[in-house]
A and B are shown apart, each in its own frame.
Chain A
Amino acid sequence: MAYLTINNLHKRFDDHVVVHDFNMSIEQGEFVTFLGPSGCGKTTVLRMIAGFETPTSGRICVGGEDITQQAAQKRGIGMVFQSYALFPNMNVTQNIGFGLKMRKCPADDIKRKVAEVIKLVELTGKEGHYPHELSGGQRQRVALARALVVEPRILLLDEPLSALDARIRKNLREQIRDIQRRLGLTTIFVTHDQEEALTMSDRIFVMNQGRVEQEGRAEIVYTEPATEFVARFMGNYNLLGAADTNRLLGLNISGHLAIRPESIHVLDGHSQQDGTLAGTIRQHQLLGNIIRYQIESAGITLQVDRLNRTASDLMPAGTEVRLQISRDDMREVR
């Protein structure tokens, strides 16, 4: 039996339905991500799990216990907020120890547990500092420590990295994942960043307009998008309509055809290989280890990614090329 189950969760604010029939189940120790654009309902679902919003209908169960109507204080669910939400009047030790104090833990236990978790999040030496004396990354680690120290049944992370700069974000996401694995903590992470979702998650729920568009393991969601929305949101997929697909590849489909930019092989313009398409490079973008080309073929512009090995790999605009696309790399989506 799953550890967290959500059945037919529905949330309406006045006339606006924010979450439609949301269903999910999570195993203990799993790291799950809600991924989607702003306003897709991912944070609302998280807030309903935390107990900050009451569902219009539906059920939330943790470990077999129905917590739908339970007060947030009694749920034993930890939360880390995007804005850190540290208490400005308390220093690092007091912030982290607050939850234990509320649970009336003995002072010695609080001291020991706070010291342990400070070590875990690598904040040793910052115990007496107030939130305004810490950097963004340090504040978020205090917030993480504060949520972890009470040993929550589930840890909720509401876009905890989005206020941080790129380098700190990368370090912190590795640290969060490492701590989550070590503690075997059931975790739900909310983000609008595909890279964060792909690198951190066991499973991803891609959400759009209050519904789950697709759910599955990170690598499956990326390579096998189920809908046009997922294909657009998860990467830089080439999405061809039925008419374009027929014109370019001679295939008859009803929905859209999704082709990943890195699955299109670029061959020399003189290549005589069967099943290839003629194309002309229109422009390119250098993305570090990748060069992204805009290649026109049969009047359709395709995005194609190639590894940036040496400077001589770069093909200038106007170069004639042949494109090879395997049938296995084409995916029909709704």
Chain B
Amino acid sequence: MKSTSRLGAWVAIAIGTLYFVLPLIATFEFSLKMNRDGYSFEAYKVVLADPGFQATFGYSTLMAVLTIIVGILLVVPTAYWIQLKLPRLRPLVEFITLLPLVIPAIVIVFGYLKLYNSSSWLPLTGNERATDLLLMCSYVTLALPYLYRSVDAGLRAIDVRTLTEAAESLGASWPSILLQVIFPNVKSAILSGAFLTFAVVIGEFTMASLLGRPAFGPYLQLIGANRAYEPSALAIIAFMVTWASMGLIQVFARNARPARKTA
């Protein structure tokens, strides 16, 4: 009975693996066929040398970094304060942070366009820098479910209240408590959230496209519509960025000391 269920589990894993891996292998294999003489990395060379790729990837990377910084500054103090002083608000905040998962990005971006168009009271779509700011804010919104959950899980693993009180009794100010006591002890959780945010922002299409900004997502779509082999190479590159982010999450989670309520 036991061996039958174990066999069933292996079969399920094998089918799942094939389902995920086969299309990737096929995409990778296709991306290597740009030269008719045989397999080569020609498509990758073309893509990496394309100024459009460099510009859009650089732009998205910059937006991702800014999103992470603003997101952390917003989420960590909020999650900390809710855990410490307002635990009753936790369900409400969790609900709010989940909204970006249930409201389609296109609905959010149309809302932005309606609210911040050039004839509105706050015309953020009126110039490029202001639109970048609006895009970054929209990315913060999109990243909220991932970032908040990571940070909240990290804060739950330590005894926030007692550590805060210990620091207070030693004369620490609120910024010192946050920067020297809380941040270092939820560092791996913050980094996990940051890498997830990076992966989300790098591949995001809807917001950037509808706000007309030169991000990597719209570039992927543009190349996909006009070229044959380069889109496959780009898809593999995008996957590698995501995997690298996931791998870094694992590395930081493993290197973090075992979670202790208080040491």
Within the complex, the shortest CB–CB distance from B190 to chain A, in Å, comes to: 13
Q: Mark B247-263, 1 if CB is under 8 A from A, else 0.
A: 00000000001101111
Complex interface bits, A56-85 against B, C-beta within 8 A gives 1, otherwise 0:
000000000000000111111111010111
Q: Is B163 an interface residue (CB 8 A)?
A: yes
Known contacts being A85-B162, A132-B257, is A139 close to B263, with CB within 8 Å? Answer: yes
**A52 near B263: Cβ-Cβ < 8 Å:** no
Which residues of the partner chain A approach B260 to less than 8 Å between Cβ atoms? 88, 131-132
Residue in A52, A130, A143 whose beta carbon sits within 8 Å of that of B168 in the complex: A52
Q: Judge whether A86 is part of the interface by a CB distance below 8 angstroms.
A: yes
Nearest CB in chain A: distance from B205 CB, A? 39
A83 and B261 contact, CB distance less than 8 A = yes
Establish whether residues B262 and A84, one from each chain, have CB atoms under 8 Å apart when the complex forms: yes
How far, in angstroms, from A131 to B180 measured CA to CA in the complex? 16
- Interface residue from B162, B168, B172, B185 paired with A89 (Cβ < 8 Å): B185
Question: Which B155-190 residues have a C-beta within 8 angstroms of A?
Answer: 158-159, 162-163, 165-173, 176, 180-181, 184-185
- Give the distance to chain B from A243, nearest Cβ to Cβ, in Å: 49
Q: Is A51 an interface residue (CB 8 A)?
A: yes
How distant is the Cα of A81 from the Cα of B263 in the complex, in angstroms? 11
A85-B159, A89-B184 are contacts. A147–B169 as well, Cβ < 8 Å? yes
Q: Which residues of A contact B180 (CB under 8 A)?
A: 98
| CB-CB nearest in chain B for A50 | B169
Interface pair A83/B171, CB less than 8 Å apart? no
Q: How far is the CA of A140 from the CA of B181 in the complex (A)?
A: 18
- Judge whether A73 and B165 touch: CB under 8 Å: no
| Interface residue total, chain A, C-beta cutoff 8 A | 32
| CB-based contact A99/B170 at 8 Å | yes
A74 to B176, CA, bound (A): 14
Report whether B171 and A102 are in contact in the complex, using a CB–CB cutoff of 8 Å.
yes
Q: Are A73 and B166 in contact (CB under 8 A)?
A: no
With the chains together, A329 CA to B111 CA distance in Å? 84
B174 to chain A, nearest CB (A): 9
Establish whether residues B263 and A84, one from each chain, have CB atoms under 8 Å apart when the complex forms.
yes
What is the CB-to-nearest-CB distance from B196 to chain A, in angstroms, rounded to a whole number? 23
Known: A85-B262, A139-B263. A79 touches B257 (CB 8 A): no
A51 and B170 contact, CB distance less than 8 A: no
Complex CA distance for A132 and B159, rounded to whole angstroms: 15
Q: Cβ of A50 and Cβ of B165 under 8 Å apart?
A: yes
B189 CB to closest chain A CB, in angstroms? 13
Task: Decide if B163 touches A87 in the complex (CB within 8 Å).
Answer: yes
A71 partner residues in chain B, CB cutoff 8 A:
168
The 8 Å CB contact of A102, one of B162, B163, B172, B263, is B172
Say whether A73 contacts B173, CB under 8 Å. yes
Please provide the chain B residues from 38 to 73 with a CB less than 8 Å away from any CB of chain A in the complex.
Answer: none
Asked whether, in the complex, the Cβ of B185 is within 8 Å of the Cβ of A83, the reply is no
- Give Cα A275–Cα B127 distance, bound, in whole angstroms: 104
* CB-defined contacts of B158 to chain A, threshold 8 Å: 88
Closest-by-CB residue of B relative to A77 is B169
In the bound complex, residues from chain A placing their C-beta under 8 Å from that of B170 are: 78, 98-99, 102, 146-147, 150
Q: How far is the CA of A103 from the CA of B262 in the complex (A)?
A: 24
Please indicate the chain A residues that have their CB under 8 angstroms from the CB of B163 in the complex. 85, 87
Option from B168, B184, B258, B261 in Cβ contact (under 8 Å) with A72: B168
Which of B180, B185, B261: most chain A Cβ within 10 A?
B180
CB within 8 Å for A132 and B261 given contacts A81-B166, A98-B167, A147-B169:
no
Q: Look across to chain B and name the residue whose beta carbon is closest to the beta carbon of A83.
A: B262
Instruction: Provide the bound-state CA to CA distance between A271 and B220, in Å.
Output: 106
Tell me, in angstroms, the Cα distance from A117 to B263 when the chains sit together. Answer: 20
Q: How far is the CA of A77 from the CA of B260 in the complex (A)?
A: 26
Q: How many Å from the CB of A66 to the closest CB on chain B?
A: 19
- CA of A88 to CA of B163 in the docked complex: distance in angstroms? 9
Contact B173 A81 (CB under 8 A): no
A216 smallest CB distance to B (angstroms): 29
B residues near A78, Cβ cutoff 8 Å: 169-170
11 more contacts with CB within 8 A, not counting A88-B158, A98-B180, are A50-B169, A72-B169, A73-B172, A81-B162, A81-B262, A84-B263, A87-B163, A87-B167, A87-B263, A132-B260, A139-B263
What are 13 A-B pairs at a CB distance below 8 A?
A73-B169, A73-B173, A78-B170, A81-B262, A85-B165, A86-B263, A87-B185, A88-B185, A88-B257, A89-B185, A103-B171, A132-B263, A150-B171
